[in-house]
Amino acid sequence: MGSTVKKKEEEGLWETIKVIVQALLIAVVVRTVLFQPFNIPSGSLIPTLLIGDYLFVSKYAYGYSKHSIPFSPPVFSGRIFGSEPKRGDVVVFKLPKDNSTDYIKRVIGLPGDRIQMINGILNINGKPVQRELVGQYDVKDDWGRATLKVPMYKETLPEGTQHYIIESKGDRGFADNTDVFVVQPGHYFMMGDNRDNSQDSRFENEVGQVPAENLVGRAEIIFFSIDEGASLLRFWEWPQRIRWDRMFERIK
């Protein structure tokens, strides 16, 4: 009798282990091939994405590289089933400087493009990009204390894609006037929508141009959003701290 009970317990334990392993394998496959969750830790893409946004990134959008796999094992180089990102896509990529840190920015420059900032105006291939002042946007100052009202613009890229940007220091920010950047073959020029508070491809020693191999995926949809500084563990505060109006919002 005792041996029968013990055998059933062992079988039950083995079944539990198999279920856990199968669930982990499914999770790894989904994360590698289909979607990866990502949370926004900084304000570089304000007003498009806010600190506290949680979103899904489509891994299949641009094909797959070693960075599509957790921990980026060097199993192959380049991309397979690759496709080109479009100008205006919001993309998660591995920081070229270390090939491990996840960054999220907007694709502004494609291979061969000439990118320059002149007095806060984005110029692509020698032509200023159209922008239209649409109002003001509230941001915190550099110390996170006072609320400032800064200009918000609707920017229209050459192919017609529109998105919103803010200029927290007007048109005289640190990177509002630059040299001309020529985008290398197989690389992309990334920028944040919070133009004066974004470490992006304008800073060549910190980010620079992003190789196609470093693309992780395209940001698709916000599935959860909570106020900056709120704790996910304090679930009883969720009704007041969740940004309900951002739930399931498509990212443009």
pLDDT in tens, 71-89: 788 877 888 877 899 999 9
pLDDT in tens, 91-142: 999 999 999 999 999 999 999 999 999 999 999 999 999 999 999 999 887 7
Dist. CA 137–CA 69, nearest whole Å? 38
Q: Is the pTM of this model over 0.95?
A: no
Just list the catalytic residues. 44, 105
Domain 2-232: CATH class, spelled out: mainly beta
| pLDDT classification of 46: cutoffs 50, 70, 90 | very high
pLDDT in tens, 149-204: 999 999 999 999 999 999 999 898 889 999 999 999 999 999 999 999 999 999 99
DSSP letter at 77 equals -
Task: Give Cβ neighbours of residue 200 (< 8 Å, ≥ 6 apart).
Answer: 44, 105, 190, 191, 192, 207
Q: Which two tokens stand for residue 226?
A: 């909570």
Q: Where are the domains of the chain?
A: 2-232
Top pLDDT among 69 and 41 is at: 41
